[in-house]
Amino acid sequence: MDRRSFIRKAGASGVGAAAAAAALATPAIAQSNPKVTWRLASSFPKSLDTIYGGAEVFSKMLSEATDGNFQVQVFASGELVPGLQAADATTAGTVEACHTVAYYYWGKDPTWALGAAVPFSLNARGMNAWHYHGGGIDLFNEFLATQGLFGLPGGNTGVQMGGWFRKQINTVADLSGLKMRIGGFAGKVVQKLGVVPQQIAGGDIYPALEKGTIDAAEWVGPYDDEKLGFYKVAPYYYYPGWWEGGPTVHLMFNKAKYEELSPAYKSLVHTAAQAADANMLQKYDYLNPAAVKRLVAGGAKLAPFSQEIMAACFEKANEVYAEMESNNAPFKKIWESIKAFRKEHYLWAQVAEYNYDTFMMVQQRNGKL
- The residues facing 241 across adjacent strands are none
Q: What confidence tens digit (pLDDT) does each residue in 80-100 have? A: 999 999 999 999 999 999 999
Average pLDDT over the chain, rounded to whole? 92
What is the rounded distance in angstroms from the CA atom of residue 158 to the CA atom of residue 156? 6
N- to C-terminal Cα distance for the chain?
A: 83
By C-alpha distance, which of 3, 6, 75, 68 is closest to 36? 68
The pLDDT assigned to 202 comes to: 79
Collapsed DSSP state (helix, strand, coil) of residue 201:
coil
- CA-nearest of 179, 331, 157, 350 to 244 is 157
- Known binding residue 106? Answer is no
Residue 254's φ and ψ, nearest 5 degrees, are -60, 125
Q: Are 302 and 292 in contact (CB under 8 A)?
A: yes
The answer on whether 282 is annotated among ligand-binding residues is no
pLDDT, residue 200, reads 82
Say what the pLDDT of residue 8 is: 46
pLDDT at position 12: 43
CATH match for 36-155+246-286 among 3.10.150.10, 3.40.50.1820, 3.40.710.10, 3.40.190.170: 3.40.190.170
Domain boundaries, the chain: 36-155+246-286
Is 363 annotated to bind a ligand? Reply is no
- Whether residue 244 is annotated as binding a ligand: the answer is yes
Is 181 part of any known ligand binding site? yes
Each residue's pLDDT tens digit in the chain (369 positions)? 444 443 344 444 444 444 444 444 445 544 577 899 999 999 999 999 999 999 999 999 999 999 999 999 999 999 999 999 999 999 999 999 999 999 999 999 999 999 999 999 999 999 999 999 999 999 999 999 999 999 999 999 999 999 999 999 999 999 999 999 997 889 999 999 999 999 887 778 999 999 999 999 999 999 999 999 999 999 999 999 999 999 999 999 999 999 999 999 999 999 999 999 999 999 999 999 999 999 999 999 999 999 999 999 999 999 999 999 999 999 999 999 999 999 999 999 999 999 999 999 999 999 999
For 36-70, the pLDDT digits (tens) are 999 999 999 999 999 999 999 999 999 999 999 99
CB-based contact 192:323 (threshold 8 Å): no
Cβ contact 255:149 at 8 Å: yes
pLDDT at 31: 58
Q: How far apart are CA 289 and CA 115, in angstroms?
A: 27
Q: What is the pLDDT of residue 48?
A: 93
The pLDDT value given to residue 201: 73
Question: According to the model, what pLDDT value does residue 183 have?
Answer: 79
Neighbour count for residue 242 (Cβ, 10 Å)? 20
**Residue 14: per-residue pLDDT:** 45
